[in-house]
Amino acid sequence: MGFIARTQMRGTKARIAVAGAVVAVAATAWGVTALVDPGHDTNHQNVSRQTEDPAKGGDAEPQAPGKPGGQVPDGIAHASESGGNTVNITIDDGPDPQWTPKVLDVLKKYDVKAVFCMIGPQAKDHPDLVKKVVAGGHRLCDHTMDHNTGMDKKPFPYQQQQILDAKKQIEDAAGGGAKVEYYRAPGGAFTPESRALAAANGMRPLGWNIDTKDFSKPGVAAIVGTVKAEIGNGPTILFHDGGGDRTQSVEALDQVLAWLKEQGRPTGFPVVTGPSA
């Protein structure tokens, strides 16, 4: 066989190998595998342990295909649908029968809509609260089954189970055809595969720009101070209505929303189909 022919054959084999790898990645993203590796970690960490800088609201990795037709990108969203100086309020780790109603009352007081990132079993146990969130005009977000902040270290089948099972439990609890529009990885433990899986199932990966640290109960003044100091980082703010005593969270949310109103900062929802930054 001549040199040119051998070279062409090697090139053909290389192209076949690359194509096979792409198919394998796509199959993984669409959930072909089925093994599950259980695990749980309730520590709350920062937005993403990928190469993204949450303060800049960027997504440093190339976007993989999302939902058929590309309706939902898999880049981690931070921007507001309304643009400008609009702020997004996001609430994690509920629903909780003690704290979610109090958070809803504060939001209603200021006529603010928020995204509630719910734990699957919590939603299943409290469908009345999920329905109340939806009835209030708020949006739903998948925050997995077990809030394992080490998800990015787990095999993809485990991530798949955590994400899709929670999505089903939240939507079943909401009823009425309500949809989960976002996916937020616990502690920001996104992976390219989990992002692609979320997008393929109609959920935009959701990050944050301002971590209020309310989860650690540093005091109302500290929580509010963090928001004021970091408001320049970007529009999406993280609060909690679950995971423990949220007395400080509720009071701080009230003060933050009052301050945002004084500043003339409207509130809205994170983008679903728009750019991440």
18 sits in which H/E element: helix 3-29
Question: Rounded CA gap, 182 and 201, in Å?
Answer: 10
Reported as a single tens digit per residue, the pLDDT across 178-218 is 999 999 999 999 999 999 999 999 999 999 999 999 999 99
Q: Is the separation of the CB atoms in 157 and 36 below 8 Å? A: yes
Question: Rounded CA gap, 120 and 39, in Å?
Answer: 15
Mean pLDDT of the region 226-234? 98
The pLDDT of residue 27:
35
Looking at every residue in the chain, the average pLDDT score rounds to: 82
Q: Which residue has the tokens 């996104």?
A: 190
- Asked if pLDDT for residue 50 goes beyond 70, the answer is no
Instruction: Count CA atoms within 13 Å of residue 95 on its CB side.
Output: 27
Q: Is the separation of the CB atoms in 116 and 139 below 8 Å? A: yes
Output the CA torsion 116→39→127→184 (10° steps).
20
Catalytic residue among 44, 93, 240, 254: 240
Reported as a single tens digit per residue, the pLDDT across 60-113 is 333 333 334 458 999 999 999 999 999 999 999 999 999 999 999 999 999 999
| Structure tokens belonging to residue 163 | 């994400």
Strands 114-118, 210-211: pairing kind: unpaired
**DSSP letter assigned to residue 87:** E
The pLDDT of residue 277:
82
Task: Give the residue, 253 or 7, on which the prediction is more confident.
Answer: 253
The pLDDT of residue 71:
81
User: Is residue 37 annotated as a catalytic residue, yes or no?
Assistant: no
User: Is residue 92 annotated as a catalytic residue, yes or no?
Assistant: yes
Catalytic residue among 59, 74, 92, 165: 92
The vertex-213 CA angle with 208 and 217, nearest 5°, equals 150
pLDDT bucket at 35, cuts 50 / 70 / 90: very low
Instruction: Annotate 133-201 with DSSP letters as a single string.
Output: HHHTT-EEEE--SS--TTGGGS-HHHHHHHHHHHHHHHHHHH-TT--EEEE--GGG---HHHHHHHHHT
